[in-house]
A and B are shown apart, each in its own frame.
Chain A
Amino acid sequence: MTGDELKEYIVGHLEGKLKPLESGKHDPLFEVQESDLLTVAQVLRDDENLKFDFLSCISGVDTGERFEIVYSLASLANNLRIDLKVVLSREKPEVESVQEIWPAANWYEREIWELYGFDIKNHGNLTRFLLADDWDQGYPMRKDWDAPDFVRFPELER
């Protein structure tokens, strides 16, 4: 299935739950509401000729004004690859944990919780992970984060 057929098939199959975005350059990118993320993920994994059983990675994104979380999925059986994007609210970013569908998500979500501060609901063990044990300076990967010893790369004027 090429990119466009895949897009129609998925949009047709999951009527209204997700809409394709143009910013996905190479593989189809869909936007999903946070509420029906789990149902979409369940369908994508179990549908007969989709079978996205391989979760490549989950990327937390802070675009300066909004938070997003992107799931990159792949299907080993049918050689397909898509991305799912969920836009989160700026004040209280929280998202459902997709751990039951893809167990690989455990550590990715834990890392996003620690570096971005998204609250992952019923994840299980959201504990200190990558940062130093006595880290208390907030969520470092956010764009508006700063710290006393955080040295910015000087702007080289061209």
Chain B
Amino acid sequence: MSGLLTQEFTVNMGPHHPSTHGVCRLILTMDGEKVVKIEPVIGYLHRSMEKICENRTYAQCVPLMDRFEYVTAMSAEYVFVNAVEKLAEIEVPERAEYLRVIMLELNRIASHLIFYGATAMDIGALTPFIYGLRERELIIDLFEMTCGQRLTYNYMKIGGVSHDIPKEFIPKCREAVKIIGEKMSDYEGLLNENPIWLARTKNVGVLPTDLAKAYGVSGPVLRASGVKYDIRKNDPYSIYDRFDFNIPCRHNGDSYDRYLLRLDEIRESLKIIIQALDGLPEGDTLKKVNPFNFKPPAGEMYSRIENSRGEMGVYIISDGTTKPLRVKMRGSSYNHVQVLPKVATGVLIADLVATFATLDVIMPEVDR
């Protein structure tokens, strides 16, 4: 049977495709069902954010950073604000630091819940999508309570956070953490031992460790390939060194491990949130900085944080005026799409979809 003369044909897994998480186009050369060559084409969401940032004051760049990575908008804001505060040596009040950590971890859980729903939907299961987004709404209510927006929060200001949390935030947050903790067993019960899920994700899209490091892969994808590296632990920013949480790490780097690792990370984030809620000090939440003529001293700075997808960084060059000279945004999905052809060639197209889903790529990070 294998001696058949078969011809290859090229097909577009194009910009408008349910499983390319936005608008990424993969030109596939196929031999029947097997993918022979993948050539990613990106740029369908290139909104020239870096050019816009060069003509905005620092305070105006923050809402733009939300649109840079809109699934975890808090981490995009934080990475920019953290860079500017380090450039200008601004001391952030204690309460603001705690609120930031709570918001960052809540946003990480919300992003992993979207990952859980979207990956399952790509692989064919529709129920997890409804499960995941149902719990995510609890977290979105918390965000809405504090900063009024569901997706692009503009919550973190240079020097602190914009609003203090209302009274009913803490009980609602504890309740949400409890509910998500319980619902985790539903999520795992639905998919972890599901034979179809195992057949579709076990040793599919295996990313070896050296390939992962060579291609600058970071975050859960890197930790699923055996490298125990998390910026919150290895190069702690903000007050992450005060909380004890461990870094889940798995070794055979296939889609199943990447999926499991993100569920473990939800549990770690729940632990951090509880510790942060217990230790939340009183005090003011913003060290007021006049946003219109705020001029940080001239200098360059690459600040990076660990968001739900991987290492997110911002390289800011300020020349002492009110507008940054250059803001380079680094998203981790950029490297994950670059490593995709190395990981998913020679497999059936169904495995390509599973690999692409578990790499958890979203397009604004790639196209900026």
| Chain A residues within CB distance 8 Å of chain B | 23-27, 29, 53-57, 59, 61-63, 70, 72, 74, 76, 79, 81, 83, 85, 102-104, 106-108, 129-132, 140-141, 143, 152-153, 158
Contact = CB atoms under 8 A, between A and B. Distances in A.
Interface of B: 42-43, 46, 48, 50-51, 54-56, 86-87, 213-216, 218, 227, 229, 234-235, 292-293, 298-304, 311, 313, 315, 317, 319, 325-326, 328, 330, 334-335, 338, 367
B214 A104 contact: yes
Contact of A23 (B42, B55, B298): B298
A106 B216 contact: no
Contacts of A106: 338
> Which of B87, B214, B301, B302 has the most CB atoms of chain A within a 10 A radius of its CB?
B302
A24 B87 CA distance: 9
A103 B292 CA distance: 42
A129 B335 contact: no
A58 B303 CA distance: 14
Contacts of B235: 79, 81
B110 to A, nearest CB: 25
Contacts, number: 101
Contacts of A54: 213, 216, 218
A143 B51 CA distance: 9
A26 B302 contact: yes
Given A26-B86, A74-B304, 16 more contacts: A26-B303, A56-B302, A56-B304, A63-B317, A63-B319, A70-B315, A70-B328, A72-B313, A72-B330, A103-B215, A104-B335, A129-B42, A131-B46, A140-B51, A141-B48, A153-B56
A76 B300 contact: no
Contacts of B214: 53, 102-104
Give the interface centre of A102, A108, A130 by most chain B CB atoms within 10 Å.
A130
Contacts of A29: 300
A24 B297 CA distance: 12
Nearest to B54: A143
Given A61-B317, A76-B229, A104 B215 contact: yes
